[in-house]
Structure 1
Amino acid sequence: MTIAVVWQEDGYQWCAADTRLVAGNADRPATEIAAKIYSIPVAVSAMGTGFPRRPHYWTQYGFVFAGAALPAAMTAITASTLLQKLTRPGDQTNPPVFEEIAEFIRRLSQRFMAERRQFRSDGMFSAAFFGWCPHQQKYKLAHIDGRDDSGGFRVELTYPTPPQLDGDPWLVLGSGNRTFQSTLVQYRNTEEHITKRVPRRVIDKMVYEESDRTVGGATSIGMAHQNGFDLYFTAEPIIRGQPAARRIFNGLDLDTEIGQIGQYHVAINGLA
């Protein structure tokens, strides 16, 4: 189920996904407001006299999935909780390398997939873990993939090579991959004047046209940069062709459905 894409463009690492979840053999929509992109914070501290000090390093990575939503969400939530509490005895030192964190997330993924499969469910998902590596000073991406194609369940961890061209997909996840690839070719042929964030625009098109029954709802967007990872709202027109727009985050209207929280409002960045 779903479509999710990671690509690199203009010095950033982007991610986009739809928000529809489907269920059953008929791929019936179960929700149109699912979160498939998560921010994974990492905080590192050194152990003082029996108590952790304040973190001396903090960042965020991106995580996006396609497939079984429950084990994928549990992986992201548990990783977010535990990776904020990394500490070690002694003085301050460097954070874990990207590959060490990716292997930890693979282990969590395997545990939650295996748990789900005990209850007569396929329970498998594929995910991308990605972001800026402070050790090698470049963007990295890990592909975590639940497999059962040889009669034995396993979760593989690979590191796909980035494409040579800026803006080309680095990794595509989900059952909507074939439709995405054909729509991408068509979009580039008919919309030659649009060259920025094309993978996101292709997902917008798939969602709007419902060209794949497993893809729908809205488009979620995230961006990794050298200081972490941020999620964005999308500006969607209230009436197509008119300038008035709604701020949509994972299918939720930030103004009419979320609104203010006390005297505060949600002030995340957005993209048109």
Structure 2
Amino acid sequence: MTIAVVWLEDDGLWCVSDTRISRRGQGGGVQIVTDAGAKIYPLNVECRLLTVERELYYGRRYGMVFAGMTAVATQTFATLSGMCQALQGASRQDIPSLRDVATLLSKLVELYVRDFRASTTLADPGVIEILLFGMCPVSRSYEIWRVSDQIVEGSLHVAIDQQPARTGDVVAIGSQVSRFQEILAELKQKTENTFRLPKIAVGQMADASRGDVGGAVSIGICNQFGFQTYWSLGLTPHGQGARLMFGVDLDDIGWVGPVVISGGGMA
């Protein structure tokens, strides 16, 4: 799985995860698929009028992060992204809340988890956890919604729960949440400055490269203007310093025609 966290800081919701994608090894343990895996996604929500012109009257970008089965997560996100850019309303006041989007997300999670379980012999009680976060246009406040699946009395159940989005609260998902909480507690004992401590904790876990957590640090921040991903300073497999976005060295990627991938970054 992974470690992924969301918390409120600097008047915005920060999201950090590692970049390791892995699967169970045949003899047990963890088999690394890649250390350059994207687990944080931008989600564009667009609403257009129910007219021939389909005029765009609303647009907002939220953030999403997942822990669990990559195939379920990517298919869920791809479908959700397409649907959220095809919304139509009768008036300009018809704007979905963040909870409305989370409800749609939960329906897609149920669909793909059910299909996934039907095609495998997986006995895990839960396949996926997703955090959807951003500034809700209805409540006009930051919100974090957690969607996850469980098997309850032999039947699939998809839960949708609002998580705390207050200063000091950290919402964590993944297989190594307990270890993250231990590291975060240790960091808090060493300093009175809590600035970006969850990011530092995840960074230490990624650097330690233990089990299904490793690679680099992915960063996304959602404020009142929308969501944006950032690169982080890290090391290449050869030990050289690099600007890494989702674990990918941006200097290796180079230019995209006349433009460059940037978006800002941090150590």
CA distance in 2, matches of 1:103, 1:121: 28
Structure number with the higher strand fraction is 2
CA separation in 2, counterparts of 1:111 and 1:238? 38
Letter in 1 for 2:258: Q
Alignment-mate amino acid for residue 71 of structure 2: L
Please say if 1:264 is aligned against 2:259: yes
Q: Which deviates the most, 261-270 or 68-77?
A: 261-270
* Aligned partner of 1:250 among 246, 249, 254: 246
Q: Is the 8 A contact 1:44 1:58 kept in 2?
A: yes
Partner of 2:111: 111
Which residue is equivalent to 1:142?
145
For 1:270 and 1:161, locate their aligned partners in 2 and report how far apart those are by CA, in whole Å: 26
| Structure 2 match to 1:93 | 93
Q: Which residue of 1 aligns with 2:79?
A: 78
State the shift of 1:175 in Å: 0.5
Q: Which runs of 5+ in 2 are unaligned?
A: none
Aligned residues: 260
Structure 1: which amino acid aligns with 2:130? A
Q: Quick one: structure 1 residues 140 and 235, their matched pair in 2 at CA, closer, same or farther if it must change by over 3 Å?
A: same
Q: Match for residue 64 of structure 1?
A: 65
TM-score (norm 2): 0.91
What's the TM-score once normalised by structure 1's chain length?
0.90
* 1:188/1:264 CA distance change after superposition, 3 Å: same
Counterpart CA distance in 1 for 2:263 and 2:134 is 19
Match of 2:54 among 52, 55, 65: 52
Contact 2:3 2:17 in 1 (8 A): yes
In the alignment, is the contact (CA less than 8 A) between 2:242 and 2:249 conserved in 1?
yes
1:39 corresponds in structure 2 to 42
* CA positional deviation for 1:245: 4.1
Match of 1:130 in 2: 133
Find the aligned partners of 2:213 and 2:35 in 1 and give their Cα distance.
9
Structure 2 vs 1, CA of residues 69 and 237 (structure 1 numbering), >3 Å: closer, same or farther? closer
* Aligned counterparts of 2:18 and 2:241: Cα–Cα separation in 1: 19
- Structure-1 separation of matches of 2:140 and 2:257: 40
Q: What is the identity, as a one-letter code, of the residue corresponding to 1:83?
A: C
2:214 to 191, 216, 224: 216
Distance, in Å, in 2 between the alignment partners of 1:135 and 1:23 is: 39
| Matched residue type, 1:56 | Y
Identity of matched residues, %: 30
Aligned alpha-carbon RMSD (Å): 2.0
- 5+ residue gaps in structure 1? none
C-alpha distance in 1 between matches for 2:235 and 2:22 = 26
